[in-house]
Structure 1
Amino acid sequence: MLKIKSILVSLLAVAALASCSDNGETTPGGGDEKSYDAAYMSISLSVPKASRTRAGSTETGALESETKINEVYLILFDENQKVVKDKDASTYYSILNSSHLSADGTSPLEPFKVSFATKYLLVIANPGEKMKAHIATKVVENATYTDINTVFSVAEDITADDNLYLIEEVARTTGPNAGYTMINAGEFDDSDPSSANHKWKDDCLLDVSGSIIDASKYKTEAEAKADAVKNRAQLQIERLSAKMAVTLKGAAGVDIEVLPAGAKFAFAKWTIDYVNSQFFPFAKKTKLTSSHTGTEYKTNFYTVDPNFASPNHRTSIILNQIEDYEPKVKWYDANEENVTDEKVKKVAYSTENTMAAADQKLGGATRLVLKANYVPSGYTMGQDWYQSSLNGVYTNYETLIKLQEAYGIAKALDEDKRDAAQKALVISCEAFKTKLDGIYSAISAIADFAALTQTDLDNLGITNGGEIAKGTGVRWFQKSLNYYYYEVRHDNGALGHMEYGKYGVVRNNYYTLRLTKVNGAGTPWYPEVEEPEEEIDKEGAYLHFEINVAPWISWATDFEI
């Protein structure tokens, strides 16, 4: 089962009385009514522990670190969804931190004052710095829920070593401020007799009016507060982040199918790219057609994020950077298929990134990038090998010497005697040498491409030669290094072409991606999207995974690359 925080909210609204002697009603504790001019709220936090694994989307138990609440922001609204506060409060939001919470973080030490006009509640737990600034700016006098639930973002930082600064706004895994940002999960309304009319409500506010207790009917405030605790309103909150894990089919990936026959593949690492930097505090949800099994959620869902549709579907999508021919990324390990203990699984977190059906394009979708070793049949794993190409058709060369032999044959011909492939090969090989000349003086001292040796290249002491050779026409798979990418699949039951909800990363969903098949070589450089407006669903898609996504909703999906 998805381990979601459930916040049990007790409200105590206390009506002000003109005079207790004017009212002859008795209190539950006996004696006359008392005149109180305050209202109180009390909350307690519970964490479901169970886990489920079923077909379709399921629910997977979360780790303690993923459910721990260190700080809670409480925002109250009246019947018109306008913010309200206690008359003595200085802000329209209240903060509960560790000093206000019990040792285990599950309940506050004391109730706190609220407005008499309170009807709705919004809870934001463990907010990041940008979310805190958003709350401070937006939650002000006369603000409405609509005013507050607007876009906030994290600015791109091209000096950062990787994209963790984006993800840490919603998922901080280490440090003194570790925690996962959470907010009301919203409500799926299935009250209509017809399932066709069942849907997620547009907002996420919890109606707490049914949990209000009139303190004037109690002898003391203490008795009223105690009774309020018994009349809790239950609130479910969920994480703004998504969770991902990559699993290899078979022990150490031994059962991964590798094509063409005889080729070899050895997985190395993976990372997350094309990360969204824009957020809604609460993202409007829609129900998917795929089945869901679980107890915390009635159904799975897809969401609408700030850059959901054209023309803004690529706005604020942050790409990983290349510096000195090396990708600036955080690399993650894959899991063995037999690892089922969530506490030892290797995982990563991501921000939400969703798309309208027609806007599921390569340039706007969050993707995985994998690096691995791959060699064609008969080649030695770990060796340098090369490719040339013409119109998308690639020719493999087992060694630099083999490439030079083909180059020598083409070079020896008069230019008008060379066929198209030979012309392209000569141009590419000479461009390869020219580019290296401009970077390495040791290479520029060598007469020409034909005189270059593998030892010359090895002595450069570089690790990403394919990145350096990019653009020359020669693909240099240094030490057999290959890169692959895969657009994250959300709804693995969506089989139609560009079907709504098919791709994307959704908050509080857990994507387990099992690599099952490799269709050939990747690229020797960190992959870029050459045609960002191309549809993801295209013939010959680069990767394919089998996905298991969790509500945490979970999906399990096989994929191939």
Structure 2
Amino acid sequence: MRKIFKNMAWTMAATLVMAACSDSLDESSGNGNSNEFIGDKGYVNIGINLPTTPSTRSESFDDGKAEEYKVDKVIIALFYGGTEKEAECKCAFQLTDKDFLLSDDATNNITSYYATGVRMIPAPDANVYALAIVNPISKFNVGTITSTNPDKENVGDATLTTYLTVDEGSGANKFKGTLSDLNKVIAPTAITDVTGNSYNYFLMTNAPISTKASFTGSKPGDLEIQTLAPIKVYNDKALAEGASKDNPIYVERAVAKTQVAVEGNDATLTVTTDVTSYKNATVKFEGWKLQNTNKKYYPVRRVNALDSETDLADINTWLGYFNGNESNRFIGTTPNPYRTYWGIDPNYDKNENDEDLSKDYTVLKSVNEGDWNEIGYSGQDSEIEYCLENTTTAQTMAENRLTSVLLKATFTPDGATASTSFFMINNTSAIYTEEEFLKVATAALKGEDALIGNEELAVKTVSTGFNITDATGVQSLLQINGGTDQKLSDTQAAAILAAAGGNIKYYLQGITYYYATVIKHFGDTETPLASDVINDAKNYDEGKHLGRYGVLRNNWYELTIKSVKGPGEPEIPEIPVTPPDKKESYINCEINILSWAKRSQGVDL
């Protein structure tokens, strides 16, 4: 048996039991109870289960960090209505970690909790559904009506008068709408708004789950996808006190998690290639960062299109997508619960050429030295970085819309001393020492541009590497020593650039940056390609390739750098506006998803 909120995997389930004593509720109400209810009051009891999250399609299990399971506060919002879609929020109440005790039926993949308190609620005249908001952000809170019996409300001896409040920026207001009304886009100022400043206060909300396991062929007629948890209602407080396990609510964290490691005993790999100038070179990885992360999220994962999104395929369509004889990839096979494995983010179907993509994604142009994440290797765990989920339709899977990994490393050619600067020119694989490059540059200066007297070219003292494609860049990197004017003339700079084939790369102290592969979600196993090359995102097949790339909340992505074929770029590279499968990347990665749900990806550079 596990300790409370420790050593548990990435998802959490909350079990709510609502007991009411009012109008008659029978099986047709959807609450699964045929008791007769008299009056206008009912009771609520809460239980929370924290299951280990399935990691891959084989759904193995693993744990994360104890801090990722800490629960300080839970808001339970109750929705009343004929269906989940039309149900409206009627009341809400708040629990703290002191309200929960460990149950006696923990298993390898479930750690169960139940609440010690019972709440009395207004009796429903239709179905009751529950939404759990665990570790709520400041936008969500519980409001109160002046009550003469607050203590009685907390023990279920008086009807709840508390309700859900939502602050859209102008103050908290009582919320009475549907889940769709509640689930509006949020743009946090930092990821810690969602994880807590110390990464121990993760926002968690209901996970969409399936009532049936994954399948082949036609979808079972009784299969449903549920986000709000349907609640079974009882007619007696004593029944509520003993029924905390009857109504599970499975919740998931609102972020994804990534780690990056190098395959081997340290963070250094030897280049494997037939290119002569790269042979036996070494690459020591210094750090990594997530690149092109989403700036926006929904507080609850979306799997359904809105009524206004008439052209957007959602889970009702995804359940008809198959690859060969494989079962449907969007639902799991492990029961209690059968999980779903995709979602719709706030910029899900934007085109890669949209001019406003910078409003949706954070693109790193520079990284302060102390901000790089430590990379892992054998015996050394990688530092963790959390991010918001980032998903797309298959035909908008372009690299500038997908989250990827940026790597910093030191490239040392065979026989060179580590941290030695070098040049590459003319978009070739030849590597030049500083002395060799200056000879090439000097030889390019002829006639009126030639050096005279004691003049000689030198590399300026700079703080970063350069990728030079114009004369101004040459003037920023090189200077003339021994003369009256250190600055190269425009014609001198142009002559040097022309001699270098129009491109000069300067690797200061051997520092190089790799734009590694974008992160795979389903990857090659569940979304294989018929061709190795996709030149246009529109060539992806929605049915066969949806979810090939992307990051989904509550998933743990682990990338392992397996090999390197050459140097990367001397500056942080631009993100291509091309499909990820257009060409081979510098890095070969293997991606795993651990529990939470853990996916692994190998990367060759």
Q: TM-score per shorter chain, which class?
A: 0.7 to 0.9
How far does the alpha carbon of each residue in 1:29-85 deviate from its partner, in whole angstroms, 9 at most, with x for none?
Answer: xxxx99764222111223346x88778564322322112211112111112333243
Contact 1:57 1:550 in 2 (8 A): no
Is structure 2 residue 114 aligned with structure 1 residue 70? no
User: What is the aligned-residue identity percentage?
Assistant: 19
Q: Determine which of 492, 513, 516 is the counterpart of 2:559.
A: 513
Structure 1 match to 2:513: 483
How far does the alpha carbon of each residue in 1:192-211 deviate from its partner, in whole angstroms, 9 at most, with x for none?
Answer: 98653169855501111xx2
Structure 2 match to 1:272: 290
Code of the residue aligned with 1:318 in structure 2: it is Y
Partner secondary structure for residue 41 of structure 1 = strand
Q: Supply the distance in 1 between the matched residues of 2:178 and 2:247 (Cα, whole angstroms).
A: 22
Q: Supply the distance in 1 between the matched residues of 2:289 and 2:448 (Cα, whole angstroms).
A: 47
Partner secondary structure for residue 272 of structure 1 = strand
- Give the 5 Å matches for 1:442-457: 447=486
Structure 2 match to 1:331: 372
Contact 1:512 1:556 in 2 (8 A): yes
Q: Determine which of 346, 360, 383 is the counterpart of 1:317.
A: 360
How far does the alpha carbon of each residue in 1:149-172 deviate from its partner, in whole angstroms, 9 at most, with x for none?
Answer: 2322235xxxxxxxxx1x223322
Q: 1:388 to 1:293 in 2, by over 3 A?
A: farther
Q: Supply the distance in 1 between the matched residues of 2:197 and 2:481 (Cα, whole angstroms).
A: 45
Q: 1:407 to 1:137 in 2, by over 3 A?
A: same
How far does the alpha carbon of each residue in 1:225-284 deviate from its partner, in whole angstroms, 9 at most, with x for none?
Answer: 43444x621121111111111121111145665443222111110011211112122221
Is structure 2 residue 202 aligned with structure 1 residue 180? yes
Structure 2 match to 1:7: 14
Contact 1:130 1:152 in 2 (8 A): no
Give the TM-score of the pair, scaled to structure 1.
0.73
Code of the residue aligned with 1:204 in structure 2: it is T
- Give the 5 Å matches for 1:516-531: 516-529=562-575, 531=576
Q: Supply the distance in 2 between the matched residues of 1:154 and 1:123 (Cα, whole angstroms).
A: 20
Contact 1:242 1:350 in 2 (8 A): yes
Structure 1 match to 2:596: 552
Q: Aligned-pair distance for 1:446?
A: 6.2
Structure 1 match to 2:32: none
Contact 2:88 2:176 in 1 (8 A): yes
Q: Supply the distance in 1 between the matched residues of 2:240 and 2:337 (Cα, whole angstroms).
A: 31
Q: Supply the distance in 2 between the matched residues of 1:119 and 1:125 (Cα, whole angstroms).
A: 19
Partner secondary structure for residue 308 of structure 1 = coil
Q: Supply the distance in 2 between the matched residues of 1:8 and 1:112 (Cα, whole angstroms).
A: 14
Code of the residue aligned with 1:233 in structure 2: it is N
How far does the alpha carbon of each residue in 1:461-514 deviate from its partner, in whole angstroms, 9 at most, with x for none?
Answer: xxxxxxxxxxx9432211110011121111122222542211111111111111
Q: Aligned-pair distance for 1:100?
A: 4.8
Structure 2 match to 1:124: 133
- Between Structure 1 and Structure 2, how many residues are aligned? 475
Structure 2 match to 1:455: none
Contact 1:292 1:299 in 2 (8 A): yes
Partner secondary structure for residue 404 of structure 1 = helix
Q: 1:291 to 1:6 in 2, by over 3 A?
A: closer
Code of the residue aligned with 1:5 in structure 2: it is M
Q: Determine which of 384, 391, 398 is the counterpart of 1:361.
A: 398
Q: 1:378 to 1:192 in 2, by over 3 A?
A: closer
Q: 1:441 to 1:535 in 2, by over 3 A?
A: same
Q: Aligned-pair distance for 1:174?
A: 0.6
Q: Determine which of 431, 440, 446 is the counterpart of 1:396.
A: 431
Q: Determine which of 250, 254, 264 is the counterpart of 1:240.
A: 254
Contact 1:151 1:279 in 2 (8 A): yes
Structure 2 residues without counterparts, runs of 5 or longer: 1-7, 25-34, 104-111, 143-163, 304-314, 320-327, 450-467, 490-501, 535-539
Query: Which one is further off, 514-523 or 1-10?
Result: 1-10
- Give the 5 Å matches for 1:335-484: 335-337=376-378, 346-389=383-426, 392-393=427-428, 395-399=430-434, 401-412=435-446, 431-432=472-473, 434-435=475-476, 447=486, 473-484=503-514
Code of the residue aligned with 2:302 in structure 1: it is A
Contact 1:513 1:545 in 2 (8 A): yes
Structure 1 residues without counterparts, runs of 5 or longer: 18-27, 86-91, 156-164, 216-220, 416-426, 451-471
Partner secondary structure for residue 17 of structure 2 = strand
- Give the 5 Å matches for 1:142-157: 142-154=176-188
Code of the residue aligned with 1:266 in structure 2: it is K
How far does the alpha carbon of each residue in 1:133-162 deviate from its partner, in whole angstroms, 9 at most, with x for none?
Answer: 99604884541122122322235xxxxxxx
Partner secondary structure for residue 563 of structure 2 = strand
Structure 2 match to 1:168: 192
Q: Supply the distance in 2 between the matched residues of 1:36 and 1:445 (Cα, whole angstroms).
A: 98
Q: Supply the distance in 1 between the matched residues of 2:292 and 2:431 (Cα, whole angstroms).
A: 31
Is structure 2 residue 582 aligned with structure 1 residue 538? yes
Q: Supply the distance in 2 between the matched residues of 1:289 and 1:145 (Cα, whole angstroms).
A: 26
Q: Supply the distance in 2 between the matched residues of 1:559 and 1:443 (Cα, whole angstroms).
A: 48
Q: 1:270 to 1:204 in 2, by over 3 A?
A: same
Q: 1:300 to 1:122 in 2, by over 3 A?
A: closer
Code of the residue aligned with 2:528 in structure 1: it is L
Structure 1 match to 2:87: 82
- Give the 5 Å matches for 1:201-240: 201=224, 203-208=226-231, 211-215=232-236, 221=237, 223-229=238-244, 232-240=246-254
Contact 1:257 1:518 in 2 (8 A): yes
Partner secondary structure for residue 476 of structure 1 = strand
Give the TM-score of the pair, scaled to structure 2.
0.68
Code of the residue aligned with 1:112 in structure 2: it is R
Partner secondary structure for residue 218 of structure 2 = helix
Q: 1:370 to 1:351 in 2, by over 3 A?
A: same
Is structure 2 residue 532 aligned with structure 1 residue 495? no
Contact 1:57 1:555 in 2 (8 A): no
Partner secondary structure for residue 407 of structure 1 = helix
Contact 2:129 2:229 in 1 (8 A): yes
Q: 1:311 to 1:539 in 2, by over 3 A?
A: closer
Q: 1:170 to 1:383 in 2, by over 3 A?
A: same
Code of the residue aligned with 2:413 in structure 1: it is P
Contact 1:436 1:443 in 2 (8 A): no
Q: Aligned-pair distance for 1:394?
A: 5.3
Contact 2:10 2:252 in 1 (8 A): no
Q: Supply the distance in 2 between the matched residues of 1:512 and 1:224 (Cα, whole angstroms).
A: 45
Q: Aligned-pair distance for 1:321?
A: 4.8
Contact 2:268 2:285 in 1 (8 A): no
Q: Supply the distance in 2 between the matched residues of 1:501 and 1:406 (Cα, whole angstroms).
A: 49
Q: Supply the distance in 2 between the matched residues of 1:528 and 1:393 (Cα, whole angstroms).
A: 19
Q: Supply the distance in 1 between the matched residues of 2:339 and 2:271 (Cα, whole angstroms).
A: 34
Contact 1:543 1:559 in 2 (8 A): yes
Contact 1:59 1:294 in 2 (8 A): no
Q: Aligned-pair distance for 1:290?
A: 8.8
Q: Supply the distance in 2 between the matched residues of 1:181 and 1:202 (Cα, whole angstroms).
A: 22
Structure 2 match to 1:42: 45
Contact 2:210 2:331 in 1 (8 A): no
